[in-house]
Amino acid sequence: MVDLNYLSIDAAHDMLVSGKVTAEDLVKFHLDKIKKLNPKVRSVITIDEKSAIDKAKAVDTKISEGKQIGLLEGIPYTAKEMFMAKGTKTTAASKILEDFIAPYSATAIRKLDEAGAILIAKVNQDEFAHGGSTENSAYHPTHNPWDLDRVPGGSSGGSAAAVAADMGIFSLGTDTGGSIRQPAAFCGVTGFKPSYGAVSRYGVISMASSFDCIGPISRSAKDTEIVFDAISGLDPRDSTSVDYKLDKPKEQLKAIYYEVGNEVDSLINNQNFNHLEVASTKPIKELGVTEESLAAYYILVPSEISSNLERYDGVRYGARTQNSSNLNETYTKTRGEFFGPEVKRRNLLGAYTLSAGYYDAYYKKAMQLRTMIKNRVNEVLDEYDVILVPTTIEPAFKIGSKADPVEMYKTDVLTVFANLAGVPSISIPFGFDESSGLPLGLQIIGKQGDDKKILEIAKTIQDATDYHKKVGEIKL
C-alpha cells in the first residue's frame, strides 16, 4: 500500500510518473480526507468533486499514452474563497455572495489549470478577508489542526488549516496585512507573501487594492517556490502587476534579526544557516516601524475597504433584501442584513477617515506615514540582505479569546509593515511554544523583487531544521 499522506509536490509527481499511483487515486485520497476531517477542522466550504476527478482522469490518460507531464499536473490543491474559479461558488465567506457563481477564473487559478494542478475545494476565511482568526466567516469558524480549540489564524485560515490537515498538497491565499503568513505560523506550515504585483490580483475579490497580495501556502519552501513560479508574472488584466527580474541570491548573505521575546529568539541564535549570516540581533522596537505600521494600516486599509465594498449594493449582483420600499432602503438594508459585524466595522471606519472633514487628519497622514515606513524598511535592507523577525508574538490563541477588535488587530503587529512597504515576506515553521507546544513561525523579509532570494534562504533554513516536517505528526 502506497503512503499518500503529507506528500511534497516532487514526491507526488514522481509517484504519478512511475505509475505507483494514479492522479484519480491521488485526488480521491485528498477528497476522502476532506470528508473525514472537515467536520472537525471545518476548513472547506465548497468541494468540486466531479470536475476534480474528471481532470485527474485526463492526466492519467496522458500518462498512459506515454506523454510527459509537468511538475504540477495531477496535483490536488485548495484555494481561499476569495478566488474566482469559473462555474464554482465564490462567496468570500459572506452571506451577500452566498449564491454567487464565478463567471470566469482568477489569473492564478487559470495558470494553475494550465499547469495541470487540480482544484478540489474552496476553503474558509474571514468574511472578505476582514480578520485574523477565521472566526469572522459568515458560515462557521475554522479550527487549528494542532489544537481544535484554537484558531488557525486568518484571514487565510482555511488555507493554512487545509494544508496542515493534508486536505490538499498546497493552497492559495491572500495577504493584505499578514493573512497568509500569520495562519501559516499558527498552523506550522509555510506561507509566502510575494512582492506587491508579482502575482496578478485579477479575479480575486478585493479587500484593499494597494495592499492585497496573492501567494501559496504549503508544507515547505520548496513546494512554495514551485507554485509561485507557476502563478507569478505580468498580467495585462491587472494594471498593478509587475514583471520582476527574479534572480536567485549570491553565495554569502547577511541578515539582521529583531527579537520579540518568544522561543524563536533563542533558536535563531543557536542555528547555523550555512550561507546566511545573522550579523546583528536587536530588539524589535529598534526596527522602528511596527507600532507605526499598525496605526497606518488600520486607517488606510479600511479606507480602501469602504471603496471596494460599494459594489455590494443589492442591485448589480449578490444578495438583495426583500424588505425595502425604495432604492435607498435597498442599499442600506441589503448591507445591513448580509454584511457581518467586522465588515460593517471596517466599512464605517473607512468611510469616516475618507470623509471631507477628516481626510487630511487621518488618511493623508497615514499615507505620509506609509512612505516613511517604506523608506525605513528599505534603509535596513540597504545594509542587510534580509530582515528576520518572528511572524507572531504568540502561538495560536483560543477561539473566542480575542473578542475586543483592538486586541485582534494587534496580532498583525509583526506582519503589516511588509504590506505597507510592498516587500516580499515568507513565514516558515520555526520551533514551538514552550508552554503550549504549538508551532511558531519565522519571517524572512527582502527587498521588493527579491522573492527568489528569500525563497532560497527559506529552503536553506529548512534544510538545516526539521520544523516543517512536524506537521505530518498531527493526529486528528
Residue 124, domain member (yes or no): yes
The helix (run of H) or strand (run of E) holding residue 255 is strand 253-259
Question: Is 324 one of the annotated active-site residues of the chain?
Answer: no
Supply 113's cell numbers.
489549470
Question: Is 80 one of the annotated active-site residues of the chain?
Answer: yes
Q: What is the pLDDT of residue 317?
A: 87
Which CATH number is 49's domain given? 3.90.1300.10
Catalytic residue among 33, 55, 80, 447: 80
The model carries a pTM of: 0.97
Residue 267, domain member (yes or no): no
Give mean pLDDT in consecutive 10-residue pieces for the chain, a chain of 476 residues.
94 97 98 98 96 98 97 98 97 97 98 98 98 97 98 98 98 98 98 98 97 98 98 96 80 92 89 85 96 96 96 91 92 94 96 93 96 98 97 98 95 98 98 96 97 94 93 93
Does residue 214 contact residue 204 with C-beta atoms inside 8 Å?
yes
State residue 432 phi and psi, 5-degree precision.
-135, 145
Q: HEC profile for 47-84?
A: ECHHHHHHHHHHHHHHHHCCCCCCCCCCCEEEEECCEC
Residue 399, domain member (yes or no): no
Q: What is the pLDDT of residue 114?
A: 98
Q: What is the pLDDT of residue 342?
A: 97
Going by C-alpha positions, the residue among 62, 22, 30 that lies closest to residue 49 is 30
Does residue 222 contact residue 430 with C-beta atoms inside 8 Å?
no
Q: HEC profile for 152-170?
A: CCCCCHHHHHHHHCCCCCE
Q: Are strands 170-175 and 425-432 parallel, antiparallel or unpaired?
A: unpaired
Q: Which domain holds residue 457?
A: 9-246+424-473
Residue 156, domain member (yes or no): yes
- Name the 3-class secondary structure at 228: helix
Q: Are strands 439-445 and 386-390 parallel, antiparallel or unpaired?
A: antiparallel
Question: Is 155 one of the annotated active-site residues of the chain?
Answer: yes
Distance CA 289, CA 416 (A): 10
Supply 316's cell numbers.
448589480
Distance CA 38, CA 453 (A): 36
**CA 411, 414, 417, 422 torsion: positive or negative?**
negative
Q: What is the pLDDT of residue 245?
A: 81
What are the distances in angstroms from CA 354 to CA 346, 351, 420? 12, 5, 18
Q: What is the pLDDT of residue 270?
A: 75
Q: What is the pLDDT of residue 269?
A: 80
Q: What is the pLDDT of residue 203?
A: 98
Distance CA 92, CA 364 (A): 29
Residue 438, domain member (yes or no): yes
Q: HEC profile for 430-451?
A: EEECCCCCCEEEEEEECCCCCH
What are the distances in angstroms from CA 185 to CA 23, 225, 395, 396? 30, 18, 8, 8
Beta-bridge partner residues of 443: 389, 427
Q: What is the pLDDT of residue 241?
A: 95
Residue 14, domain member (yes or no): yes
Q: What is the pLDDT of residue 365?
A: 97
Residue 264, domain member (yes or no): no
Domain count, the chain: 1
Catalytic residue among 43, 133, 137, 179: 179
Catalytic residue among 43, 105, 133, 155: 155
Distance CA 253, CA 385 (A): 6
* DSSP, residue by residue, 16-54: HHHTSS-HHHHHHHHHHHHHHHHHHH--EEEE-HHHHHH
